[in-house]
């Protein structure tokens, strides 16, 4: 018999898995349809910074309040998901030091420094926190509240939690086409035909064909990012160091993740020598001692970017049975809990802050 669900989520990255978790927790009959395995695409490539302030250069308002809210949900989820799934999210406190090397750098931090939770540190104060930091800094914005997690673990925990609440996680099943007949969606996959009353597109950078099939002309732009992980018995970094979109993130096991390059419109998923070279140069400029560490791993992933660099989280403009949660670009790990909760609330017809609905509406505030 043809399988039928209340909600089918297309894509089992951190976004699709979070949505399934929040829906299943409310007893909604939900399935995640995933082409490969849960969480192996952009989600596994992420460094896992929950840097609500990190992207705060031009804009405060809705995006920032959503990011801060999502970050706060992690404090609850780390216990809740661990108790339910037995998976440790690798939650790590310590904060982020956003370094400034020039007056221009400091000016760019103005928005960040205007937040009551952020402190400006002089070079000596930065060195009291991180002895080996670059000697030529002008100072740093210290964001003590920013945390990091292990993104693949978070995704696994959401998926397992969802499953324990009754969701179906259907791996190795690529969705090929979606059609609406009467009030049901017919979802053609590589394995079988599936029916659902509502669908959520959470297919990351691969969402473009679904926009087309559902009558919209938006495109997802891939922004390739490469990372390397290094380790050393001698140098320990306690805080994440960040400058000009590059960063070094300490893990609980002593490894440091150096990230990340940014190549727009590059669909390749290999790690290039140029990418590694850029990362090493950048990391040495921030934390010279890193040159003595050993490379342990390298990887890459494709960030899903929309034309306005904001995620689309909400209803299809003409059909409330179709929802999108895609285009989370540099912040999908940070925004996953709030995205999952928001999509679940929209489906369950619960209140969602109007400023978030407007900020993330499909196609942006001024639809194209």
- Given the rule CB under 6 A, which residues bind ligand FAD? 10-16, 33-36, 41-43, 45-49, 174-175, 202-204, 206, 225, 227, 259-260, 301, 303-304, 326, 328-334
260 upstream amide cis, omega within 30 of 0: yes
* Nearer CB in complex with ligand FAD: 130/146: 146
The C-alpha atoms of residue 304 and residue 224 are separated, in whole angstroms, by 9
Quickly list DSSP for 88-151. ----B---EEEEESSHHHHHHTHHHHTSTTEEEE-HHHHHHH-TTS-TT--EEEEETT-EE--H
The nearest distance, CB 227 to ligand FAD, in angstroms, is 5
The nearest distance, CB 234 to ligand FAD, in angstroms, is 25
The C-alpha atoms of residue 184 and residue 161 are separated, in whole angstroms, by 27
The nearest distance, CB 211 to ligand FAD, in angstroms, is 12
* Nearer CB in complex with ligand FAD: 16/250: 16
The nearest distance, CB 266 to ligand FAD, in angstroms, is 11
Tokens 């990091």, residue located = 148
Q: Which of 14, 353, 339 is CA-nearest to residue 152?
A: 14
* Cα angle 90, 94, 96; round to 5: 110
Show the tokens assigned to 334.
């940070």
Number of Cβ atoms within 10 Å of the Cβ of 117: 14
* Nearer CB in complex with ligand FAD: 162/334: 334
The nearest distance, CB 311 to ligand FAD, in angstroms, is 8
* Nearer CB in complex with ligand FAD: 316/328: 328
The nearest distance, CB 260 to ligand FAD, in angstroms, is 4
Question: Taking a C-beta distance cutoff of 8 angstroms, is the pair 344, 19 a contact?
Answer: yes
The C-alpha atoms of residue 304 and residue 314 are separated, in whole angstroms, by 16
Phi-psi region of 131 (alpha: psi -120 to 50; beta: other; left: phi over 0): alpha
Q: What is the DSSP letter of 272?
A: P
The nearest distance, CB 52 to ligand FAD, in angstroms, is 10
* Helix (H) or strand (E) segment spanning residue 211: helix 208-213
* Nearer CB in complex with ligand FAD: 51/363: 51
Question: Taking a C-beta distance cutoff of 8 angstroms, is the pair 227, 260 a contact?
Answer: yes
* Nearer CB in complex with ligand FAD: 315/329: 329
The nearest distance, CB 81 to ligand FAD, in angstroms, is 17
The C-alpha atoms of residue 287 and residue 15 are separated, in whole angstroms, by 33
């Amino acid at each position: 018999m043809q399988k039928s669900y209340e909600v089918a989520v297309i894509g089992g990255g951190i976004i699709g898995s979070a949505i399934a978790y929040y829906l299943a927790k409310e007893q909604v009959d939900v399935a995640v349809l995933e082409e490969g395995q849960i969480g192996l695409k952009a989600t596994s490539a992420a460094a896992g910074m929950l840097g609500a302030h990190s992207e705060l250069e031009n804009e405060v308002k809705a995006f920032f309040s959503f990011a801060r809210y999502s970050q706060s949900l992690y404090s609850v989820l780390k216990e809740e998901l661990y108790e339910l799934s037995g998976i440790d999210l690798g939650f790590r406190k310590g904060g982020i030091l956003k370094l400034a090397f020039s007056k221009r750098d400091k000016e760019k931090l103005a928005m960040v420094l205007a937040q009551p939770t952020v402190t400006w540190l002089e070079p000596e104060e930065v060195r009291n926190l991180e002895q080996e930091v670059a000697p030529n800094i002008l100072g740093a914005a210290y964001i003590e509240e920013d945390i990091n997690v292990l993104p693949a673990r978070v995704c696994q925990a959401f998926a397992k939690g969802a499953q324990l609440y009754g969701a179906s996680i259907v791996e190795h099943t690529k969705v090929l086409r979606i059609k609406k007949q009467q009030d049901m969606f017919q979802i053609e996959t590589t394995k079988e035909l599936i029916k659902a009353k509502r669908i959520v597109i959470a297919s990351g950078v691969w969402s473009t064909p679904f926009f087309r099939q559902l009558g919209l002309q938006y495109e997802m732009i891939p922004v390739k990012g490469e990372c390397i992980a290094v380790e050393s018995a001698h140098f320990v970094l306690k805080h994440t160091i960040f400058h000009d979109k590059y960063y070094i993130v300490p893990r609980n096991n002593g490894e440091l993740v150096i990230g990340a390059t940014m190549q727009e419109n590059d669909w390749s998923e290999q790690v290039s020598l140029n990418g590694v070279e850029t990362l090493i140069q950048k990391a040495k400029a921030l934390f010279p001692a890193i040159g003595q560490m050993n490379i342990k791993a390298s990887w890459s992933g494709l960030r899903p970017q929309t034309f306005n660099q904001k995620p689309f989280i909400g209803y299809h403009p003409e059909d409330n049975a179709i929802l999108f949660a895609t285009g989370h670009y540099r912040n999908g790990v940070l925004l996953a809990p709030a995205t999952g909760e928001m999509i679940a609330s929209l489906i369950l017809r619960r209140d969602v802050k109007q400023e978030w609905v407007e900020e993330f509406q499909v196609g942006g505030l001024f639809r194209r």
